Amino acid sequence: PVHYTGYVVPGRNRGGRAHRAGAGAPILVSAGGGLVGFPLLRAALEAHALLDPATRPRLELVAGPFLPEPEWRQMGAAAAARADVTLLRSVPDLAARMRGAALSLSQCGYNTAMDIVAAGVPALVVPYAQGREDEQTNRARRMAGLGLLRMLEPGRLEPAVLAEEMLRTLSFRPRANALDLDGAERT
């Protein structure tokens, strides 16, 4: 037997539409654990450079603890060359960072997707979809259909397209969350 109890989201992250980004809020790019996040991080850095320097928000990249060391060093060198880019290995509370961001750009793993919903942040996701992997794509399409986020198909991940989609997402306002985030308590 299966009994649905809702999505499991840490209690501190269930703030609903708590998005409160102000002036100077960054574009937050996160790659989950980071093991497969390098293409997104690199494309985001290149796309950010295509935005108008006079108006673009600063860029904050959270690489993830498992981003391979050679890719971490490559991102570090590229970020160091840009005054409006910060590269971090990890943060203690991604949902809190999202609540203060102008835009969240990420893949669409379960934890990240729940953080996006809890934060109420304008979000663009590029799901991880190599080989037969379709979990993130299915999740992203359903959440986009609910108006909770925007999705860019992984095959379209190139800097010019991503820059255009980032600009569109900066003015996107997610719908009010209708998902049940009390699964941990009910379980």
In the chain (187 residues long), the average pLDDT of successive 10-residue segments reads: 83 56 90 95 98 96 97 97 97 93 97 93 96 94 96 97 97 88 82
Supply the pLDDT for residue 48. 98
Q: Dig out the tokens for 96 from the structure.
A: 């809190």
Q: What is the pTM of this model?
A: 0.91
Q: How many CB atoms lie within 10 A of CB 140?
A: 27
Supply the pLDDT for residue 26. 97
Q: How many CB atoms lie within 10 A of CB 92?
A: 6
Q: Calculate the CA 55 to chain-centre distance.
A: 21
The DSSP symbol for 175 reads P
Cβ atoms of 90 and 65 closer than 8 Å: yes
Beta pairing partners, 138: none
The DSSP symbol for 57 reads P
Percentage of the chain beyond pLDDT 90 is 78
The one-letter code for the residue type at 183 is: G
| CA distances from residue 93 to 3, 121, 129, 152, 166 in whole angstroms, order as listed | 30, 15, 25, 25, 23
> Alpha-carbon distance 51 to 21, whole Å?
20
| Cβ-proximal residues to 48 (8 Å cutoff; 6+ apart), any chain | 27, 56, 59, 84, 85, 163, 166
Q: Dig out the tokens for 60 from the structure.
A: 């904050």
